[in-house]
Amino acid sequence: MALPNHRAPLAEQVEQLLATEGPLPIVAAGDPVLRRPAERFEGQLAPTLLARFVEALRLTMHAAPGVGLAAPQVGVGLRIAVIEDPAPVPEEVALVRGRVPQPFRVLVNPSYDGAGSARAAFFEGCLSVPGYQAVVARPAEVRLTCEDEQGSAVDEVFSGWPARIVQHETDHLDGMLYLDRAELRSLSSNQAMAEYWAQPDPGAAAGALGFELPR
């Protein structure tokens, strides 16, 4: 599948991406598109093309698999992201992390405010940084404002793991990777995660790897 031509208008980029069926190629860290603030969506894609693009993002997220995907992760610098989390984790993990199922959602021009919220720290990964995870301290509750794919306003409070997903995907649209916020001493390969750090919280990893968790 051909990658999008970043010098072409956004609609042409998306048409190029959608020319072949199946999951879209995910851009890896190091590509400049992941480090540029994405352009606000203001109708650059016609409704039919937007719907096709959203469906491609959904398919790609499921195939990866992941619980969120932002347009820059497939090379398109638009402020659009999708999230969905069936939360297939043990009950103990779900309780500690506040991980509850989330339906499929489209976030258009999202922003969040976590001011005043307590911070929670957990291991986090990213489809654009494959093979690794690191502990990130984030507000445990955020207020999300955005539109959906129909242009309807969204103003909603998220807490626990859904709040983390919202922050992670919105950060992508601001040109940030989770590693920019991570405790770098916690950086662990997926193999190390499975061998050492499968606990619901990162307390043991903090003690062994030498980093602090928020109080």
- The per-residue pLDDT for 1 is 41
Whether residue 65 has a cis bond before it, omega within 30° of 0: yes
Task: Give the whole-angstrom CA distance, residue 208 versus residue 41.
Answer: 44
Which residues constitute the domain of residue 171? 10-204
Q: Which of 21, 2, 29, 27 is nearest to 13 (CA)?
A: 2
- Asked whether residue 199 is assigned to any structural domain, the reply reads yes
Query: Residue 126 annotated as binding?
Result: yes
The pTM score is 0.94
Share the mean pLDDT of the chain.
95
Residue 12 confidence (pLDDT) above 50: yes
Q: Is 146 annotated as a binding residue?
A: no
Is it the case that residue 176 has pLDDT exceeding 80?
yes
Report how far residue 178's alpha carbon sits from residue 182's, in angstroms, rounded to the nearest whole number. Answer: 6
211 falls within a domain: no
| Residue 184, domain member (yes or no) | yes
Mean pLDDT value across residues 39-49: 97
Report yes or no on 176 lying in a domain. Answer: yes
Q: Is 172 assigned a ligand-binding role in the annotation?
A: yes
Looking at residue 8, what is its pLDDT? 64
Query: Residue 215: inside a domain, yes or no?
Result: no
Tell me which residues are annotated as active site. 169
Determine the average pLDDT of the residues in 73-81.
98
* CATH classification of the domain holding 92: 3.90.45.10
Largest Cα–Cα distance of the chain, in whole Å? 52
Q: What is the pLDDT of residues 123-162, one digit of tens each?
A: 999 999 999 999 999 999 999 999 999 999 999 999 999 9
Residue 74 in any domain: the answer is: yes
- pLDDT over 80 (residue 21): yes
Number of separate domains in the chain: 1
Residue 212 within any structural domain of the chain: no
- Has residue 1 been placed in a domain? no
- Predicted confidence at residue 215, as pLDDT, reads 81
Q: 111 pairs with which residues across the strands?
A: 145
